[in-house]
A and B are shown apart, each in its own frame.
Chain A
Amino acid sequence: MKILVTVKEVATVEDEFEIEGTAIADQYLGADLNEWDDYAIEEAVQLQEDGIADEVVTVTIGPEDCEQTIRQALAKGADRAVRIWDDSLEGVDLLDVNAKTEILSAVIEEEDPDLVLTGVQAGDDSFGATGVSVAEHLGYQWGAVVNHLEHDLDDGVASVRRELEGGVEELTDVELPAVLTIQTGINEPRYASLRGIRQAQRKPLDVQGLDDLGVDDSAVDSDLELTDMYEPESESDVTVWEGGAEETAAELGDLLRDKGVAP
């Protein structure tokens, strides 16, 4: 069985930052492996260690800078990586879900994996749609917000547990090939071992452009426009009651209900 994991290098922001136009100023930004993808990689590597997967391939849309993040995935145990980038992507401000869907779908069609693992969302732009959108585009089944996967994908079926709102969980059988969007907490991601880091340097990292994938340049055009970015004003307000608990507790209760903090 072949597993493909989507891996994104996300922007991280320092506690204190400034916004310039519609972006956070560069000097406050760092880069890291998307947290959700870390769990997806771990799940794939565990499937491989359990003898269920034969090959784990990662795919990333991103410039050369993000190869360090890709090597991190390789160091944790992925076998090889594909990175998609070219001039037409270079100038794009906002790569929307449609564009990612077209590009990733083209890679998936080429790689033909049995299972695709993505993160539920990316920590920076939080579209939270890519995995499901890719599945829909390819006609694959999908399971979203997966927090447990049975490691016996017998008969071409993945048994998954999904996290619903309000603490409810659901068990679903998903037919392969499928896309599962992985939730944090599904496993405990490992640290890349020093041996792994060393070996990762020699693992294949293949770079492809949109042409190589047969994706038209127009795929990156977006109907979305980022119009503004700002920090919401935070307000603080203090109410002080004089007197003992007997008289004032009820007033506190009313206030909390009023503010929507208590039901």
Chain B
Amino acid sequence: MEFGLTEEQEQIREEVARFAENEIVPEAEKYDEEETFPHEIVDEAAEMGLVGSSIPMEYGGAGYSTLETVIIAEELFSYDPGIALSIMACSFGTEAIEAFGTEDQKERFLEPVAMGEKISGAAISEPDTGSDVSSVSTQAEKDGDEWVVNGNKMWITNGTVGDFFVVLCKTNPDAEGRYNGFSQIVVESDRDGFSADKITGKMGIRASDTAELIFDDVRVPEENLIGTKDAAFMQQMQFFDATRVGVAAQGVGIAKGATREALEYAQDREQFGKPIGEFQAIQHKLANMATETEAARNLTYKAAWHVDQGEDITKLASMAKEYASRVAVDAANEAVQIHGGSGYVNDFPVERFYRDSKITQIYEGTSEIQKNVIARELLGKGF
């Protein structure tokens, strides 16, 4: 058994931390307040190769594995989740293109993302389709050599800043079985009939862009269909392990950041003539936060490692996602508590962590859905 990181992985962590401290931390409050997308920081991150880091070297990425991507996500999210997501999500949806795309599709879509020239997105959820993905109603109909897409997608990360989206569409309404008849189709944002409506007023990760997408007779060439027609559900499911581990890493990062801030504050703030960190009640909070973060990290790294071995780890990935997101929310909560009144205003980053942490229990499958998955696997029931 080997628990250590390689020298290369340590180096990635350190360089990402350096980037975050210098480029993200000073700007985090501003982007949160203004609820705007951090284009400048994303451009710099792209220059460093943080965007699309898992895209293979031959298409301009760094070709990093799930574990390395987890390390990057953990580090970025420990400084500011909103900006971190803005960076990490620039390549959302490209995993399907990487796995199932043709050579032509990879060149068209992967390269510009890895170079930081284009931003992608993954459009699955709809106003009436959340946890039950099989109820997707956005339709794509074949007309000559084009697909004509109609429908609405809801809560789409990068909605108003993205250049293209991998859209889960119903392509065969007559297919039998709940999970059949869906395809993944790339829709570029400059196609006629495409529009995006920014969703404002988010509780957290406010730097990250979220929007509703509207497809009104949007025509795309048939070459935009990724992989096999009508088999998208199976294609999509393959990435749940990796993407859920990715959100687990976000949770680990938030817990780590909240703990770091709380630890510092506990040593500075004095009451009753001594630093509050001298009180056992505060010490125990810090001990719990650090222990739970470590446990979440181990679960997450283990899951990532198994994904990289090419194994199917549905249960483990859901465990990591559910547990790490819970730890993130708990740690952020305790960090605010340790800050007292100062934690209730945005003078300190913990107020932001508190708001940002919640999303990790919602997107990429809610905590309830993760528990359903874990239980189903335990009980040996198929999906």
Contacts and interface: CB of A to CB of B under 8 A. Distances in A.
Interface of A: 67-68, 71-72, 75, 190-198, 200-201
A194 B64 contact: yes
A194 B7 contact: no
Interface in B306-338: none
A29 to B, nearest CB: 16
B8 A192 contact: no
Given A67-B7, A71-B7, A191-B18, A197 B12 contact: yes
B50 interface: yes
A72 B49 contact: no
A194 B60 CA distance: 11
A3 B47 CA distance: 25
22 contacts: A67-B7, A68-B10, A72-B11, A75-B11, A75-B15, A190-B47, A190-B48, A193-B47, A193-B48, A193-B62, A194-B49, A194-B53, A194-B62, A194-B64, A195-B61, A195-B62, A196-B49, A197-B11, A197-B12, A197-B62, A198-B8, A200-B8
A73 B146 CA distance: 50
Contact of A191 (B8, B48, B57, B64): B48
Most-contacted residue by chain A among B8, B12, B64 (CB, 10 A): B8
Interface string B52-75: 010001000111100000001000
Most-contacted residue by chain A among B11, B12, B18, B61 (CB, 10 A): B11
B233 interface: no
Contacts, number: 53
Contacts of B72: 194
B19 interface: yes
How many of chain B's residues touch chain A, expressed as a range?
20 to 34
Interface string B283-318: 000000000000000000000000000000000000
A191 B15 contact: yes
B49 A195 contact: yes
Contact of A197 (B8, B18, B47): B8
Interface in B14-50: 14-15, 18-19, 47-50
Given A194-B48, A194-B64, 7 more contacts: A71-B7, A191-B15, A191-B18, A194-B12, A195-B57, A198-B57, A198-B63
Contacts of B11: 68, 71-72, 75, 192, 197, 200
Nearest to B7: A68
Nearest to B49: A194
Contacts of A67: 7
A214 B216 CA distance: 77
Nearest to B19: A191
